[in-house]
Structure 1
Amino acid sequence: MIIKQPKPSALSEQVENMIEWLASYGKDERNGVSRLLYDPAWIAAQRAIEAKMNDLGLQVHYDDVGNLFGRAAGRDPEALVVLTGSHVDTVIGGGKYDGAYGIIAALIAVEHLLTQYGQPLKPIEVVSLCEEEGSRFPMTYWGSGNITGTKSREAIRNLKDASGMLFEQAMYNVGFGLGQHPQPQRSDLECFIELHIEQGQVLEREQKSIGVVSHIVGQRRYDITVHGESNHAGTTPMKWRHDAMFTAAELIRILMHRANTNEDGLVATVGRLDAKPNVGNVIAREVTFSLDVRHSDTETIRTFCEECFNEFESIAAQHGTRITYRKWMDEPPVAMDSAMNAATESILKREGISYQMMTSGAGHDSQVFGTHCPTALLFVPSRGGISHSPAEFTDTEDLQRGVRLLIDLLHQLAY
């Protein structure tokens, strides 16, 4: 069956307008976007999407952690749900496409399908997931994790943001976590589709229009703390110091050297450093740095961390310091559904659209759904591979091409 598509010019204008519309919630003076879980910009964005869903005639509801759903009911009362969408939260000062594009694309696709073909056979739901980034609290995939049952209230007990606000209190403050909405865990999902910007350079460099993801890499994240001793910067000889900063610098150098010489594609990042007392003329007594390790093979990640940490202990001993570790994320690599990918490839070949089968180096809600139900993760190109930045950009032609693919795929799955 030939699927009637909206005109590219009209679709491009709609996508552009909606990208700017959603970016207005949390826009900062540098043209970045900051929507952190349960903050004022976040709740304003969710309410705006809720209103848009109502305008489309969808059945709208939140769950008890703040995930937002708009449902187009199906003709078959026994059919499972075809779910599509992405996350509404951002990093601090992030771009306007990450997460938001997947929600916008889903809204546009469902609007077009309902207008052209009426009620689907199977229910389609658009989801604006409450959280994915871990930007406010040390917790990622809170939205998808609750839907799939992999996250619980126990996991957030005593977690605080940088201001000292408890995770649970922030949730209560905006009306969630109080039992006023349905519990989030779902057992009625047939599949999940996430359309996302690539956040990398592969598609642009290979001059491909769509990325079809076969696997999402695994991730481990740590907070590593070096404990030393504060002392006077001028009167303490170098050989008698227990300098947490000096130790941390050596540990970070070891991490980067091992990652740079690893030939399996592993990546490691230290992106945050906190020192105490953080005074220029005082030897640091405590330094905490973040560690993010990613690879498509769990054993490779485990071996890398073990070897680094074993070396860390000997370095710390040489400096008269000690180390503590807090592993707060350990997500295994996840394969996307081969049947859904085959259906996507069939559409792309039929339409003559260039594509690339690829692995995602970034984590996505799809990796959480991928262990729960058949899942597809689809990419459109990112200019220069830049993301998590106000400079994040995807050409409108690529954005509308992704929406058209989503329309075709949803029609095939739900009609």
Structure 2
Amino acid sequence: MIEKKDISLEKVVLVGIITKEQGEEKSKEYLDELEFLTYTAGGYAVKRFTQKMDHPDPRTFIGSGKMEEVRQFIEDNEVGTAIFDDELSAAQERNISKILNVKVLDRTNLILDIFAQRAQTSYARTQVELAQCEYLLPRLRGMWTHLERQKGGIGMRGPGETEIETDRRIVRDKISLLKERIKTIDKQMAVQRGNRGAMVRVALVGYTNVGKSTLMNVISKSDVFAENKLFATLDTTVRKVVIQNLPFLLSDTVGFIRKLPTQLVDSFKSTLDEVREADLLLHVVDISHPNFEEHIESVNKILGEIKSSDKPTIMVFNKIDAYKPEPLDEDDLETEKTERHYTLEEWKSTWMSKVGNNALFISALNKKNLEDFKKRVYDEVRDIHVTRFPYNHFLYPDYNYEDLE
């Protein structure tokens, strides 16, 4: 559990369900992540509520008895926000708000709020605003607050047009405007990428908060913002890096997460273009996280969605200094050894057998095994570069060019 840091943090209750597809342990993992998201957004969870169900209630997500339990706790403890672990429909959100009489968010809304806080550049803010508008559009009915009338009020409402229809039209117009703005910036960014010439491009990808920005800072000797919170980096940062005598471009991209809202995948298309156009991916993994293999699957799923899963990839297992296996009592014959009991050496053996020398184990923060990391990246980038410029003998006098014949 994340402890309360100061009185400025917002009091929140978290709500999730346990189903056949999402068992008790999985539900706990998701709520742990939801709590970290809540902390990143500026709140702290005072209590979690879970209910075993075959499927979410179409009206209120959880059952009426559990909902009354949540309502009573909120009232007794003066909690102002309830956050649900799955995306709520517009009807569910309206019904729950009426019962609880507090601010109701779902996981998607929470992630969008964090992105809105973290967006620094005009481009990132435009992408987030587009995702928010697309999320908002089907949820306008029943909202007690309304958008600012950006086109003015008098004379703008058609005959017989209701207030909700006006709001929808304003949001649709805003979405069209934002998409046009993003198209313009996309063209500018495409020109910028084209102006980088034929240098080899390497992209850092991975789950959020795995240490990509820290690794970027160490390798490129730059000062990219890094913090122990989810989605510390939204804007793609590109740096020229030189290892030995070999220059290449290294980009740090937005982190992925389970249940990533589709609105964000769509609106951050151009940010993900850095991944699509990369020659080499460095898939950074926080090996100290108990569910890191699930994180790998989530990242691979999104890479598949953006048609980048077939790119050359090096698995970079970061935070080895923080890895602690669960202790196994050798005298306890009933406890079966699982992956949670693996030593670091056992994980190395496991992943080396899966991907060969494309698995590296480092600590970016404490700079452990960074020389091995640099050597491996150098070898890979050099091979790509030599393939692109096969007769650059001055740059690589020791390279066996006969392999290219």
For Structure 1 versus Structure 2, the TM-score category normalised by the shorter chain is under 0.3
TM-score, length-normalised on structure 1?
Answer: 0.20
Larger Rg: 2
Q: Which has the higher contact order (CA 8 A, sep 6+)?
A: 1
Bigger strand fraction:
1
TM-score, length-normalised on structure 2?
Answer: 0.20
